[in-house]
Structure formats: structure tokens, C-alpha cells
Structure 1
Amino acid sequence: MRVLVGIVVVFLTIGCTGEKKEKGFKIHDFQGVDMEVLYKDSVSIRTLEILNDGSVAFAGSNGKYGLYDPRTEQWNTNTIVGDTVNPSFRATAHTATDFFMLSIGNPALLYKTGDDARMKLVYAEENKAVFYDAMKFWNSQEGIAMGDPIDDCISVLITRNGGKNWSKIPCEGLPQIKEGEAAFAASNTNIATVGDKTWIITGGKSSRVYYSPDKGKSWNVYDTPISQGTSTQGGYSIDFYDEKTGVVIGGDYTHPEANASNKMITEDGGKTWRLLAKNSDPGYKSCVQFVPESGGHELVAVGFTGISYSKDKGEHWKQLSAEGFYTLRFLNDSIAYAAGNGRIVKLNFSDSQ
């Protein structure tokens, strides 16, 4: 691979542990959302990172990646150029010092920020079945990436030295997959972490939740009631507010109106799951996130079908916008960034229309 001159990215005091700490919370009643388009280009963007200084980093199709500085309102973008085809990225992560991006398809290519400000290739994997879906860091040294199964288990990569080296967990250290079980590279939200605890959602003919209490050293897996049974069904996105409360959303992107069993919640750390808003909208969504400082009550979900909001842990929902996005991340309890086909947008949620 040939890498163009990289982006100089300064990551100062960036938190990445996945812990959500608060002394109190406020429940909103969002009635609308205002949108400010920050970036437009012919690139599909399914993953972005918000840094503690407010900067936004992304990686997308055709090797494109970039950094937005809200203070100057300027973008710095670049491209990783392949020998025959540019890689497409759907997974990103960051630590206090580095930005990471992981490509889909064969070969899988994982890049990190290098000492010379270029993106450095730190892991590569060739296999006709290789396809990575998401990645995340527990802290500045330890991170995880997950992907579709090869052999009898899902693919899980681990780093323990800040992303300099990555190793793949052998199938002996992971639960055996079920027939047709895979995952969706839809929004880089297949992985949720709180402290040392980790949850992974799979999808397809079987959609289950994998759980590790110790940063990927040991694993259990739990069945779920979410819609599954075909290659396009199942959970697409998972988020945890704390060690007990988590949600999953998904459905079937080929039948986006289906809403009977595409949303579920756990309140015991992922061991058991209960369906939410059965036979009620929203239907298919590719990403769900808890609203920060909401006590785990508020949720926002996005997909190409629009933006939906719940203030009661997913029991009831309202559509705030028909504008479609693939993924979003919250900056605070009322501002988020969303990405989709050809654009990144700043979302301002309001309690009044």
C-alpha cells in the first residue's frame, strides 16, 4: 500500500475508557433537531470519533479520512491509496495519542497515527472471508476490534500496547458461532464497553450478545429475542449506559418498515434481553446511542430511515427527522455529530420545535 502524507492530528487529554460518570441527570423531551452540514463529499461515512477537545475524526470509503477543528471550522482530509483499489473504512477508534482506522474486506488493513504524522499500517490480514466491523479502546493501551467469523468463531483482535501490535484471539478462546451468525459493518457500534466490561452484538441468521468481564480475556455468549433468521436480520448496534443497562437496535435493512422485534433492552448486564416497542416504530436503524447524562432513559437511533428519539428507555419513540444517517456520536446531552452517505452533520436537539 502507498500512503499519502498524513494528517497532523493532535489528541490532547482524550478519554477513551467507555466509562460514563455523572452525579445527576436530566431527562429531556426532544421535539426537534436542527442540522448544520459540516462536510460534503462523494464518500460513504459509517464511522466517526469525537475527541475531548471537540474535534471530529472520520474514515470512509475510497480511502478517505479526515479531521474537523470546530474552533477554526476547517477540515483536513487525506486519502490512503492502494496498489489496485483504495481501502474502505467502517471502523475507527482513538486513544490519547493516536487515531486508528480499520478497513473492510480482503485484505483487512489497520492503520494508526505514526510518529511522522503519516498513517502507519500496523496490522494486515488476508483471507477470503475476512471482514472487520467495529473497533474500540478500553484505555490508552488496550483495544479491541471485531469482525465476521472465520472458521468456528467471530474474529476478535486485541492490542495491549497502545495499538502498536494486534493479535487475533484463537477460536479456542471464543464461543463457537451458530450457523449464519455474522455482524454488520453499519455504524462502528457492534462493540460497547464500560470499564473492563465488553459487549459485542452479532447478527444474521443468529443474533447474540458476546460478553467479556475482563477486556477480552474470557467470553460468554447470550441468546436474544431480536428478529433473526436471515442474513440481513438481527442486531446492528449496541450501547450501554452503565454496567447493567444496555440497548440493541437493528432489524432488516431490506425491510426497513419491520418493527415487531428489532429493539431490545437489558438491565442485568446483558445476560437477559427484553423486546421494546413491539410492533411500533422505529423499524430498521443502524445505530443507537444513549443521550449522555440522562440516567439511561434517553435514546437516539439513526438509519437511512431517519432520526428517532425515546425518553423512556425505548418503550416509546418519536421520529424527529426523516433525514437519513448511518451513525452518530454525542458531544454532550443535546449536541451530536452524525454521518451518512456523502456528509457529516452537526445535530442540535431541542425541547421545543
Structure 2
Amino acid sequence: MKITLVSLLCLLSACAVKNKHATTDFFQSVTVDTLLKEKINSRAIIPTADKVYYAGGNGIFGFVNYADKKKTQVNIDVSKNPMEFRSIAKTSNAIFVLSIGNPAQLYKYSNDLIEKKLVYKETHDKAFYDSMQFWNENEGIAIGDPIADCFSIIITRDGGNSWRKSTCENLPKVIDGEAAFAASNSNIIIKENDTWIVSGGKKARVFYSSDKGNHWQVFETPMVQGLEMTGIYTADFYNSKIGVIAGGNYEKQNDNFSNKAMTFDGGKTWKLVGENQGFGYASCMQFVPESNGSALVCVAGNGLYYSHDFGATWTMLLETKELYTLRFLNKNTAIAAGRSGVFKINFN
């Protein structure tokens, strides 16, 4: 049977669930354990070996330990300027959180969240930052919606102590109505020096850089596009060649066509998969580790889905509208977060 979060009772008791519709020889059940039960509205997480860092609404971010489920949480005063974090990134000695909206503010914290520094601030009516990642200990990138005719891209080369905004002269042009979605901190994907950024709205495209954001190429996709809430909401790459994008139409969340596609050439070309199969709107897609790129898990608008065949067919393992984002710890364990907390999910 499936499990539902209508009452959250099942999640809170860490129950194991068998899906009667599962037909694969791979994942057929999940066990869900609640690490943090709180209305944090988190769309950005970073799991480590012993804890998971999360960022959410109302100026909240923090971490919770796996072993004792003890949380350490920061609440930035948002009484004057409502603040919501949709982006989080980590180096070995620092945590970075970036707020959406005006003013956009990027904070650098020590791993224990005691030391704090505001390292970037941008004031503009159109400011809206969607995602952030690091290439290495010194270099990182964040992306925001266009203010002019290009994405807002800020880059650090000094470990996050200072950030510089790229000029539109050095970036690909976007069309009017093309932007990014801050759905799960997964519309920037990094593999070594390779970087992919995905867009939605009037166009659904993939922006690619082979040199850590110095030069960019743009590739078309067959994803649904043309309306404000259509396009690519999430992406992942298994390696430099195999990648996946997903999304759909947020206003028609049951539409399960033209909402997921795969690439096998590093993003240059994309082919729709799973047409009229599985989920509609998707907020987060991730490759299962050690699967050679064939296995995928997707956080959709109505549940958690699994594919073992490069996205051709899908099985719902968990029925819920509570989750927004997910990251794997290993091939059988993931951390997920959303509207009402942070959870550990074991795939069986």
C-alpha cells in the first residue's frame, strides 16, 4: 500500500510501506523517519555524514543531527524585511544561505552557525535568487531571475567572502518571460568544472559552462514552455554526459507530458521520457547513486516517484504533498524536506 501524509501520523512513527503497485525488482518500499517536525517550508538542504543543514521561510535555517535529532537553528529577524531562504551551499568550513526577494542577502556562517557575516546584498525590485552551488572550496555560483536581459549570476573566487555579479555582456540573453524556479535548489548542477543552469517560463532551456561560469552555451529542450509557470523546475546530472530535467506546469499539476527529459551528450540534446507516465509537476529530481544513471527519484506535487529505466516508467512509493526537495546520502538513503519538516527516507 502507499502511505499518505494527510495526518502525518505515518511519518512520525517511521513506518515501513509496501507499494502494491510496484512492479520493479528494485526499490519497492520506503521507510520514513522524521528528523525535524516543524513548519519550516524548506526547499534547500545539504546532508552531511552526521547532520543535515536546512534553509526555509521566515528567516529560518539550521541543522539537525541524525543520531539524536537535536536541532541547532537560527532565526534572522524578519519583522521589517520578510526573508525566505531557497538556496544553501557548503564548503568544508562554512555554510552559505541566500534569500530570495528584495533585498537579496547572502550570509556566510561557520559550520556551528555561531559566526555570521553578510557577504553580498542586492537591492532591486526584481531581485529574486533561486539556487546556489560551489565548484570547490574557493569558487561558487548563485543564480537569480533576470533584472535586465540575462540571468542574475553572482560568483565568488575567494571562498565566499566576496561575490561579483556577472555583466549581461558576458552572459547569454534570455527572452522576456524566461526565468528560473526556486523549487528545490536544484536548477544549478555542477560536476567538476561543468555547470548547467535550467530555465522556465516562456522558454525552457539549458545553459552550460565548461569553465566555471566564464563562458556559456545555450541548448533548447522539448519541455513544456510558453506560459509563466511552465518549464524546467529541477535538474540533475549523474556524470558529465547523463542528465535529467523535470518540471511541467505548476498551474496544471496533473499534466504528465512534456515534463521530463534525458540527455546522454552533456545537455546538448534532450529527449522526452515517461510521456503520460507517473507524475505531473515536479519540484526535485535526483539520480540514485551507483545506478549508472538508470535509476531516478522524483519529488512531485503529489508524491515521491521512482524509475529504474532512465525515466521511461515510474512507480509512486510515497503519496504526499508535503515534500519539496531531496538529496541522497547513499544509494539506499536520502534526506528530504518540505512544508512540515525534515525526514530521512530509506529505500528498500
The alpha-carbon distance between structure 1 residues 48 and 173, as it changes in their structure 2 partners (threshold 3 A), is same
Deviation at 1:42, TM superposition (A): 2.5
Is structure 2 residue 153 aligned with structure 1 residue 156? yes
Is contact 1:205–1:233 with CA below 8 Å preserved after alignment?
yes
TM-score normalised by the chain length of structure 1: 0.89
Counterpart amino acid of 1:338? A
Is contact 2:129–2:145 with CA below 8 Å preserved after alignment?
yes
- Which of 161, 166, 174 pairs up with 1:169? 166
Partner of 1:93: 89
Counterpart amino acid of 2:334? A
Counterpart amino acid of 1:144? I
Which blocks of at least 5 consecutive residues in structure 1 are unaligned?
1-26
Is contact 1:193–1:199 with CA below 8 Å preserved after alignment?
yes
In the alignment, the residues of structure 2 paired with residue 54 and residue 220 of structure 1 have an alpha-carbon distance, to the nearest angstrom, of 38
Counterpart amino acid of 1:252? N
Is contact 2:280–2:300 with CA below 8 Å preserved after alignment?
no
Runs of 4+ with >4 A deviation = none
In the alignment, the residues of structure 1 paired with residue 320 and residue 194 of structure 2 have an alpha-carbon distance, to the nearest angstrom, of 34
Is structure 2 residue 37 aligned with structure 1 residue 54? no
Partner of 1:344: 342
In the alignment, the residues of structure 2 paired with residue 34 and residue 96 of structure 1 have an alpha-carbon distance, to the nearest angstrom, of 30
Is contact 1:251–1:284 with CA below 8 Å preserved after alignment?
yes
In the alignment, the residues of structure 1 paired with residue 280 and residue 39 of structure 2 have an alpha-carbon distance, to the nearest angstrom, of 27
Cα deviation per residue 1:183-242 (whole Å; 9 max; x = unaligned)? 100100001111100000010111100000000010011111000010000000010000
In the alignment, the residues of structure 1 paired with residue 262 and residue 185 of structure 2 have an alpha-carbon distance, to the nearest angstrom, of 19
Is contact 1:303–1:327 with CA below 8 Å preserved after alignment?
no
Partner of 1:34: 31
In the alignment, the residues of structure 2 paired with residue 289 and residue 262 of structure 1 have an alpha-carbon distance, to the nearest angstrom, of 15
Partner of 1:65: 61
Is contact 2:326–2:336 with CA below 8 Å preserved after alignment?
yes
Is contact 1:213–1:219 with CA below 8 Å preserved after alignment?
yes
Is structure 2 residue 116 aligned with structure 1 residue 119? yes
Is contact 1:80–1:86 with CA below 8 Å preserved after alignment?
no
Is structure 2 residue 186 aligned with structure 1 residue 189? yes
- Which of 54, 77, 95 pairs up with 1:81? 77
Cα deviation per residue 1:72-113 (whole Å; 9 max; x = unaligned)? 331111201135034110000000110000001000000011
Is structure 2 residue 223 aligned with structure 1 residue 226? yes
Counterpart amino acid of 2:319? A
Is structure 2 residue 113 aligned with structure 1 residue 131? no
Is contact 1:208–1:222 with CA below 8 Å preserved after alignment?
yes
Is structure 2 residue 97 aligned with structure 1 residue 109? no
Partner of 1:326: 324
Counterpart amino acid of 1:121? L
Count of residues in Structure 1 that have an aligned counterpart in Structure 2:
323
- Aligned counterparts, 1:166-315, within 5 A: 166-315=163-312
Cα deviation per residue 1:156-195 (whole Å; 9 max; x = unaligned)? 1100011000001100111000121001001000011111
Any idea what SS the aligned residue of 1:331 has? strand
Cα deviation per residue 1:46-94 (whole Å; 9 max; x = unaligned)? 110012x331001100011111122333111120113503411000000
Any idea what SS the aligned residue of 1:111 has? strand
Deviation at 1:28, TM superposition (A): 6.7
Is contact 1:59–1:101 with CA below 8 Å preserved after alignment?
yes
In the alignment, the residues of structure 1 paired with residue 147 and residue 255 of structure 2 have an alpha-carbon distance, to the nearest angstrom, of 30
Is contact 1:114–1:120 with CA below 8 Å preserved after alignment?
no
TM-score normalised by the chain length of structure 2: 0.90
Any idea what SS the aligned residue of 1:347 has? strand
Q: What is the aligned-residue identity percentage?
A: 47
The alpha-carbon distance between structure 1 residues 137 and 28, as it changes in their structure 2 partners (threshold 3 A), is farther
Counterpart amino acid of 1:101? V
Any idea what SS the aligned residue of 1:279 has? coil
Counterpart amino acid of 1:164? N
Is contact 1:245–1:296 with CA below 8 Å preserved after alignment?
yes
Any idea what SS the aligned residue of 1:153 has? coil
Root-mean-square deviation (Å):
1.4
Partner of 1:145: 142
Counterpart amino acid of 2:155? I
Cα deviation per residue 1:289-337 (whole Å; 9 max; x = unaligned)? 0001111111000033100000011111111111231000000001001
Any idea what SS the aligned residue of 1:172 has? helix
Counterpart amino acid of 1:327? T
